[in-house]
């Protein structure tokens, strides 16, 4: 009875298989081969690629670096985005102005934006160092020093994606009911206490959503690193996706990059699930008086 309803599910199911399941299963199969420029094709290499990955310090360093980069950029984006959203929350004129202004970085293509920032950070030709010298801080080795290059990547990511966080959080703030704020005033909560006890907890669900969306995007960071630093100096700004790109697309080690990709996918899925649960517990269910 009502079997025909499954016919309507079929197109969606076929797309799911073609777009997600087939590439995933194919990647699993490739990861158990040693397909490279010398041995093209799906041979059987067992777990050799995974064993190699286990001892590949560059991969794990890239993963650790990516984690740091993601946490730092998303945290700064969240704090800045929230602060800006709070600033314009009650001011309609400012809200319109900032909403338009902040769309500009989001609308810029990451590669174009990274080229512009690479020019800004250029140590002899860029405008940043003369400005810093004018301020008495002195020129900095933005793209030639590992630490500064890492900071440069963070700055560019924050510049581009803080507006996204701002817009999401502003939408969240505008959707909050006004009554609890009135109640908080009457119940003796000043502005700071109202923020901590009412605004912030009521923004819990939207905050978790915004942080997770940005964390997922940050975990895939590639274009900024590719254009701005090419993973350098050395490998100091190399992220996992960039490293997989080097192994797969530049060195053509297809089997090995498939093993790296699959492991990366599993680690990210587990990590993001744990982060989501922790954030939900901390920011949504844990909200108390």
Q: CA–CA separation, 102 vs 161, rounded Å?
A: 9
- Taking the complex as a whole, the smallest distance from the CB of residue 181 to another protein amounts, in Å, to 10
Closest to another protein by CB, 75 or 189: 189
Closest to another protein by CB, 141 or 180: 180
- Taking the complex as a whole, the smallest distance from the CB of residue 288 to another protein amounts, in Å, to 6
Burial state string for 229-244 with b = 16 or more CB within 10 A and e = fewer than 16: bebeeeebbbbbbbbb
- Taking the complex as a whole, the smallest distance from the CB of residue 187 to another protein amounts, in Å, to 4
Closest to another protein by CB, 139 or 205: 205
- For residue 174, give every residue at least 6 positions away whose Cβ sits within 8 Å of its Cβ, in sequence order, or none: 89
Q: CA–CA separation, 283 vs 172, rounded Å?
A: 14
Closest to another protein by CB, 107 or 289: 289
- Taking the complex as a whole, the smallest distance from the CB of residue 184 to another protein amounts, in Å, to 8
- Taking the complex as a whole, the smallest distance from the CB of residue 277 to another protein amounts, in Å, to 18
- Taking the complex as a whole, the smallest distance from the CB of residue 194 to another protein amounts, in Å, to 8
Q: CA–CA separation, 232 vs 237, rounded Å?
A: 5
- Taking the complex as a whole, the smallest distance from the CB of residue 204 to another protein amounts, in Å, to 7
Closest to another protein by CB, 168 or 198: 198
Closest to another protein by CB, 79 or 182: 182
Write out the residues near another protein by the rule CB under 8 A: 177, 179-180, 182-190, 193, 197-198, 201-202, 204, 287-289
Closest to another protein by CB, 96 or 193: 193
- For residue 254, give every residue at least 6 positions away whose Cβ sits within 8 Å of its Cβ, in sequence order, or none: 30, 33, 35, 36, 40, 248
Closest to another protein by CB, 40 or 191: 191
- Taking the complex as a whole, the smallest distance from the CB of residue 172 to another protein amounts, in Å, to 13
Q: CA–CA separation, 203 vs 216, rounded Å?
A: 20
- For residue 106, give every residue at least 6 positions away whose Cβ sits within 8 Å of its Cβ, in sequence order, or none: 160, 161, 163, 164
Is residue 76 within 8 Å of residue 160, measured between CB atoms? Answer: no
CA 68 to chain CA centroid, Å, is: 11
Q: H/E/C letters for each residue in 119-182?
A: HHHCCCCCCHHHHHHHCCCCCCCCCCCHHHHHHHHHHHHHHHHHHHHHHHHHHHHHHCCCHHHH
């Amino acid at each position: 009875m009502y079997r025909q309803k499954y016919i309507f599910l079929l197109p969606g199911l076929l797309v799911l298989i073609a777009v997600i399941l087939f590439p995933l299963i194919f990647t699993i199969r490739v990861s158990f081969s040693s397909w490279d420029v010398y041995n093209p094709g799906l041979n059987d290499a067992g777990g050799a690629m995974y064993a190699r990955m286990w001892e590949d310090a560059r991969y794990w360093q890239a993963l650790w670096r990516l984690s740091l980069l993601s946490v730092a950029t998303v945290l700064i984006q969240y704090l800045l985005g929230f602060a800006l959203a709070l600033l314009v929350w009650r001011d309609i004129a400012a809200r319109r102005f900032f909403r338009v202004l902040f769309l500009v970085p989001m609308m810029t293509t990451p590669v174009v934006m990274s080229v512009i920032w690479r020019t800004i950070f250029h140590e002899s030709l860029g405008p940043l160092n003369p400005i810093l010298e004018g301020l008495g801080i002195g020129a900095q080795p933005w793209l030639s020093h590992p630490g500064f290059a890492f900071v440069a990547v963070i700055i560019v990511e924050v510049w581009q994606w803080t507006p996204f966080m701002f817009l999401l959080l502003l939408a969240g703030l505008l959707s909050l009911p006004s009554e609890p704020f009135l109640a908080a005033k009457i119940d003796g909560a000043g502005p700071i206490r109202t923020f901590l006890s009412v605004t912030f907890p009521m923004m819990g669900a939207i905050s978790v959503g915004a942080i997770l969306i940005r964390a997922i995007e940050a975990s895939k960071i590639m274009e900024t690193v590719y254009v701005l630093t090419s993973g350098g100096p050395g490998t100091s700004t190399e992220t996992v996706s960039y490293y997989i790109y080097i192994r797969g697309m530049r060195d053509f080690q297809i089997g090995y990059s498939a093993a790296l990709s699959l492991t990366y996918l599993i680690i990210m899925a587990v990590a993001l699930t744990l982060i989501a649960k922790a954030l939900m517990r901390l920011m949504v269910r844990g909200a108390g008086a």
